[in-house]
Amino acid sequence: MTSIDLARKVDGLSDLELALLLSFVANEHCLIETEEEALKSLGQEVLAIASNTFSRTHALIDCSEDTTLDEFTHGLLIESTDVGDAQSTSNTDLIQAAPLSRSTAHHAAASRIERAEQKNGTKESSQELRIADVVILKNLSLADYEIQIQALELIRSKRIYTNTAVYTAPKCFCVAFIQEAANPPLNKHLIDHIFMSHYHDPEDGFANLEAASELIADDGSSSSSVVRKPVFHRPKDSVERTFSEADIQNLVQQAKDVTVTAEVKQYLQNIVTFLRLHRAVDGGITPRATKYFDTLVKCLAPLHGLEFVTPPLVDLAARKVYPHRIVRTVPDRERSLQYGSDLAAVTAYLEGVTPESIVEDVLASVETPL
């Protein structure tokens, strides 16, 4: 496939599809936030994207304060026989994309392990089970600290350990953290290993779910008395929009070949410096964040049909890499107090400051190269 054909594919993607595509190209993980009323639909949309757009196996874990380590570990696993299922689905196939409840998902995973035991005579069989290509962790910030650390270990080592087996993640692996925008933040070490973040406005809709709903409505008009499980059809144009492994590797190679001029590199570094020195920032601008910043600008270029990085791409990357990382300072730690600033005035200033506004303030302050 030529670069022009690939660019046309990219042009037809939604914001959520682009977020997952960038994660696959960078071989990293993403955070997607939305409002409470849209969170369930967001989970279903990401599942549908994993199947329809990227032909990947998937697993969704709905976390809460009651989630146990066993439930989390088993929720990551799928049967090895499912590996080719997503890639062999035709346009007329139905894709099961409704997430299971937490308890149902745990029982389903336990059932898979039990079948593996019966077939192989062992307690667990790493040949019968594997980690899904796309793992969606819903509301992980509500789960216990140990669960979040287990998620951190998964994305760092690409391995998960049970009592009797070790499971290795596939080569092309992505964890999508989805949660309400108002949720408490994730563990700071976990946050630092999340490549990029994206806020999905519910008003932007869910392309795959809406297309599926229209098809289901047409199909069900004459069979309203039949009880159906929630399933999602592939959109009619899914063949043109599906990204194969070859397409992703093509984008990976293009990203490696992207040119960054000295002026743009200096612009990128100036943004990092200004963020670290911003009076409202108390942390989060880590070396890993800078590495991801540099990676994302290169991944964005081929998606825009470019062989070089432009300042607008740097601005876009900054808006995706830093907002979820920035730790806002508290009034009594704001550095201008050391030089005589009034605490009440500092408090009033910080009340309206958000991570997004900090990034925008820095982008407006740093001189853009011509």
Q: pLDDT tens across 285-309, in order? A: 999 999 999 999 999 999 998 999 9
Residue 325 burial (C-beta neighbours within 10 Å; 0-12, 13-18, 19+): buried
Q: pLDDT tens across 194-249, in order? A: 999 999 999 999 988 888 776 545 555 444 433 333 444 444 454 466 898 999 99
Q: Above pLDDT 90, what percent of the chain?
A: 66
Cα distance between residue 28 and residue 19, in whole Å: 11
pLDDT given for residue 163 in this prediction:
82
Cα distance between residue 336 and residue 348, in whole Å: 14
Task: Report in angstroms the alpha-carbon separations of 116 from 43, 60, 112, 125.
Answer: 28, 21, 6, 6
Q: What is the pTM of this model?
A: 0.83
pLDDT given for residue 318 in this prediction:
97
Cα distance between residue 67 and residue 180, in whole Å: 18
180, β-bridge pairs: 34
pLDDT given for residue 141 in this prediction:
95
pLDDT given for residue 222 in this prediction:
44
Residues of the chain with pLDDT under 50: 85, 87-103, 116-117, 119-124, 216, 221-236, 238-239
H-state helical runs in the chain: 3-11, 15-26, 39-52, 69-75, 102-120, 145-157, 188-192, 207-219, 238-241, 245-256, 262-277, 287-303, 311-321, 343-351, 355-365
Q: pLDDT tens across 257-289, in order? A: 999 999 999 999 999 999 999 999 999 999 999
pLDDT given for residue 211 in this prediction:
80
